[in-house]
Amino acid sequence: MAVTVAEREAVGAAPRVRRPAASRPSWSSLLYVAPALAFFAVFVVVPIVQSVRISFYDWDGISVATPAGLSNYAAVFSDPDLRQALGHSLVLLVFYAALPVLIGLLLAGAMSRIRIHGLTTLRAVLFLPQVLSSVVVAVAWRGILADDGPVNAVLRAVGLGGLARTWLGDFGTALPSIGLIGTWVEYGLCMVLFLAGIATIDRSLYEAARLDGAGALREFTAITLPALRPQISIALILTITFALRNFDLIWNTTRGGPGTSTTVPSVFVYQDAFQDRALGQASALAVVLTVLILVVVGIVQLALRERPERRAGKGVRA
Amino acid sequence: MRVARSESVLTHAVLIVAALVAAFPLASVIVTSLGGDGGASGAGSVGFGNYVEAWTQGGFGSALLSSAVVAITVVVVTAAVACLAGYALAHMRVPGGRILLGLLLIGLVLPYEVTVLPLYQMLAGWGLVDTYGALILPQVGLSVPLGVFWMRSFFASVPTELLEAARIDGAGRFRILRSVLMPVAMPAVATLATILFLFTWNEFLLALVLVPQNQAVQTAPLSLSFFSGAQHGAQPDVTAAAAVLVALPIVVAYVVLQRRLITGLTEGAVK
């Protein structure tokens, strides 16, 4: 230790500076960053710039592109099909983000009050849906929701056979069914995130709350909920991003059907780009989708960022 | 803590239901895959006939191999470039480093949809569509943000004294990375590798767009998607067997690595 202090003084850095070596810009450090930067620039940044550029043209990918001004963007918000797809995305936000976070909070709140037996196994099973490929998930749920699947079998067994239907093939139930698959994919992730957060809460806070006569609800709002702020923020960011960019699950269950009842922007991006050869339209939609995701993520981060002094105050008030 | 025993029992019951719901679809697909016996010997029989049929018809041997080649290459390349960049961003004054980190942060939540179309055209221009390159190169690019953030936050947590001691001993910057930091970074690298492997293995849209025609390099999820689409929709038990084949390697790896993966993801995510 003495040596490091001596070294710091020798370089002339203030004693409190944590990284003396970082005082001057080091151009050679770019050599270390270059390989990662090259991959990122060529395969992420350049394509995005290209997408933005293509979005201002009418182009079928083969003949000469003609400038289209903002018409592709106007179509995103005026074309009834695309507007409907954006609407579906909003519905899916409830199923993919709001429900899993609420379920996760509810269960995590209950778990914070007791000692859980078999926690490691429980966590591993709850996290399983995150590990499976969405194509596997789609195949599994297509079977479960099929005409002769277990859901209908249960309904028929309890005398509700009238409700039985091909859930993913029915105009009224296809979108909520996909939504519930999304809920299933995400609630375990939320629970596992919140459990990790709860593990960092000082147990004596709960003891103190109970001595003060706080009930389960009070305990949850005063201690658990404020402490989980970072986990709630990350859970919302992950689930909202998943909801808005979701392609795999829908493509492998309904392809947007029946009719247009489960279309989402990403399905149109794929179809416009690779099936209908409307490259400008596809790009504009992709750009809007990206901006939408960045804005929503930004809002969540701002709304839930750590504010220690406010947080303490809130805890007391609640 | 004093909580009524009935509450503890009730909470456990609810948790068991939650776990059963989480496990049910996989269990259901396994049960389906073992029934019917390839549709050959009629319903009611139990066996692996569906697996034989899925394996021979769907080319899943080659698909699983492709997935492994792609995922392992992406993991190795990404981890290597992420260690270099993460080290520099944590311990050197990189010109424009803050801007770079901001860019990478955006990269973390970017929808692939916005990159796939130009990627396709770019890779087609290079003659790489329908090759391993078309799967590996973009996937490395898209994994770089996570990798760099991950390694940067780990390297930043290493006590500066350790680096300075090495510096005083006359070690150069690369030597410090190789001999001082990498040995202690191995657990962080292993967790990163597990996460990247999982993401890459399961990636669907990139594969669908970038290797649409060449069955030899198609990944397992893509093969499953094609297989379960058109011609096998009428054979749910064979499709189920195919799904189990695709899920099996990842589930086995998950059973072994779940502790590392979950702890890594929950802690890393909040960072």
For chain A positions 263-292, those within 8 Å of chain B (CB to CB) are: 265-266, 269-270, 273-274, 279, 282-283, 286-287, 289-290
Q: What is the mean pLDDT of residues A237-257?
A: 90
**CA-nearest residue of chain A to B260?**
A124
For residues A29, A30, A31, A33, the Cα torsion angle rounded to the nearest 10 degrees is: 100
A155-193 confidence digits (pLDDT tens): 988 888 888 888 888 888 999 999 999 999 999 899 989
- Percent of chain B at pLDDT > 70 equals 92
Cα–Cα separations (whole angstroms), residue B160 to B95, B180, B181: 21, 11, 11
Query: What CATH number did the domain enclosing B222 receive?
Result: 1.10.3720.10
Tell me whether residue B170 is in a domain. Answer: yes
ω before A80 within 30° of 0 (cis)? no
Q: Per the domain annotation, does B93 fall within a domain?
A: yes
Reported as a pLDDT band with limits 50, 70 and 90, residue B57 is: confident
Contact between A248 and B205 using a beta-carbon 8 Å cutoff = yes
What is the arithmetic mean of pLDDT over A33-61? 92
> Is residue B256 classed as helix, strand or coil in its secondary structure?
helix
B14 within domain boundaries: no
Average model confidence (pLDDT) for chain B? 86
Which candidate, B185, B207, B213, places its Cα nearest to that of B71?
B207
* Per-residue pLDDT, B271: 60
Confidence bin at B231 (pLDDT 50/70/90): low
List the single range of A210-224, B5-19, B32-46, B213-227 with lowest mean pLDDT. Answer: B32-46
CATH of range A80-317; options 1.10.3720.10, 3.40.50.720, 3.30.720.200, 3.30.950.10: 1.10.3720.10
Of B89, B93, B119, the CB nearest to A43: B119
Distance CA B202, CA A51 (A): 25
High-pLDDT (> 90) share of chain A, %: 37
Res. B1: pLDDT tops 70: no
Residues of B in contact with A123 (CB under 8 A): 258, 262
- pLDDT tens across B73-107, in order? 999 999 999 999 999 999 888 888 889 999 898 88
Q: Which residue of A has its CA nearest to B107?
A: A44
Confidence of residue A51 (pLDDT cuts 50, 70, 90): very high
A183 vs B: CB within 8 A: no
pLDDT-based confidence at A312, cuts 50/70/90? Answer: very low
Q: Is there a contact between B18 and A195 (Cβ–Cβ < 8 Å)?
A: no
Question: Distance (Å, rounded) from C-alpha A284 to C-alpha A148?
Answer: 41
Question: What is the tens place of the pLDDT at every residue in A198-232?
Answer: 888 888 888 888 888 888 888 888 888 888 988 89
Query: Using a CB-CB distance cutoff of 8 angstroms, which residues of chain A are in contact with residue B167?
Result: 21
The answer to whether position B253 is within a domain reads no
> How far apart are the C-alpha atoms of A97 and B201, rounded to whole Å?
24
Residue B104 domain flag: yes
Asked if A196 lies within 8 A of B266 by C-beta distance, the reply is yes
Residue B71 lies in a domain: yes
Range of the domain at B157: 59-228
The structural domain count of chain B equals 1
B11, B84, B141 member nearest A40 (Cβ): B141
**In chain B, what residues touch A47 (CB-CB under 8 Å)?**
114-119, 122
The whole-number average pLDDT for the span B7-29 is: 91
Give mean pLDDT, residues B15-43: 79
Mean pLDDT of chain A, nearest integer: 84
Closest by alpha carbon to A37, among B99, B195, B179?
A: B99
Distance between CA A127 and CA A203 in Å, rounded? Answer: 25
Within an 8 Å CB–CB cutoff, is residue A22 touching chain B? yes
pTM (whole model) above 0.90: no
CB atoms within 10 A of CB A117: 10
Give the contacts of B243 (CB within 8 A, at least 6 positions apart): A135, A136, A139, A140, B29, B33, B224, B228
Does B67 score more than 70 pLDDT?
Answer: yes
Higher pLDDT, B77 or A122: B77
pLDDT tens digits, residue range B154-182? 999 888 888 888 888 888 888 889 888 99
Q: Residue A316 has what pLDDT? A: 36
Q: Which residues of B touch A150 (CB under 8 A)?
A: 28
Which candidate from A29, A51, A293 shows the least CB-CB separation from B93? A29
Domain residue limits, chain A: 80-317
B236 lies in some domain = no
Average pLDDT over residues A15-23: 48
The predicted pLDDT at position B36 comes to 62
Does the predicted interface ipTM exceed a cut of 0.85? yes
Q: Which sign, positive or negative, has the C-alpha torsion B217, B220, B224, B227?
A: positive
User: Which stretch of A40-44, A80-84, A97-101, B48-52 has the lowest confidence by average pLDDT?
Assistant: B48-52
The pLDDT of residue B267 is above 50: yes
Using a CB–CB cutoff of 8 Å, tell me whether A135 touches chain B: yes
Answer whether residue B108 is part of any domain. Answer: yes
Nearest by Cα to A315 from A230, A226, A212: A226
